[in-house]
Amino acid sequence: MFNQSIVLEFDKRLVSEEEMIENIDYYISRSSEGMKLISQGKQKEAMKILKEIKTSLKKEYIYYNKEKIKPYIHRNNVYRTYQWGIVLAYSKLYKVYSYKYLYDNLFNVWDSISNHDSCLFLGYRI
């Protein structure tokens, strides 16, 4: 498992389902870790994790929304499903610098990624 997600360059090479699953693992495990830290009263550490997740999601979101990338994604059901999970997770982030919404943001990332079709489509099991 990666310490961070990587932008999967669908336009430059054939991306395997295993690589997508590694990114899914990253988002699920990091958001779960953040929620656990909150339950232990370690909000500051959880906030660091949320910022890390946000940075990764933003990089993927921006890359996959480039006009030159869209045709590669739309021609492949697996790529499209993965990309949509990233869009859902990124779009649900709200006031990411507020401790008031910290747990909600971490949960929304976890929920968007773990319950999204990408898990079902890729045969991923939590």
Q: What is the pLDDT of residues 67-82, one digit of tens each?
A: 999 999 999 888 888 8
- Could you tell me which residue, 50 or 23, shows the higher pLDDT? 50
- Mean pLDDT over 99-120 rounds to 84
Residue, of 1 and 57, whose pLDDT is higher: 57
Q: Look at residue 21 in the predicted model and tell me its pLDDT.
A: 86
3-state secondary structure of 116: coil
At 1 the pLDDT is 46
Reply yes or no on whether the pLDDT at 30 is more than 80: yes
Kindly report the average pLDDT of the chain as a whole number: 88
pLDDT of 54 above 60: yes
Higher pLDDT, residue 107 or 120:
107
Residue 111 has pLDDT above 50, yes or no: yes
Domain limits, the chain: 17-121
CA distance 64 to 66: 6
In this structure, how many other beta carbons lie within 10 angstroms of the beta carbon of residue 14?
7
Mean pLDDT of 87-92: 94
39 vs 35, 50, 84, 103, 105, CA distance in Å?
A: 6, 15, 30, 9, 14
Question: Quick one: what percent of the chain has pLDDT higher than 70?
Answer: 87
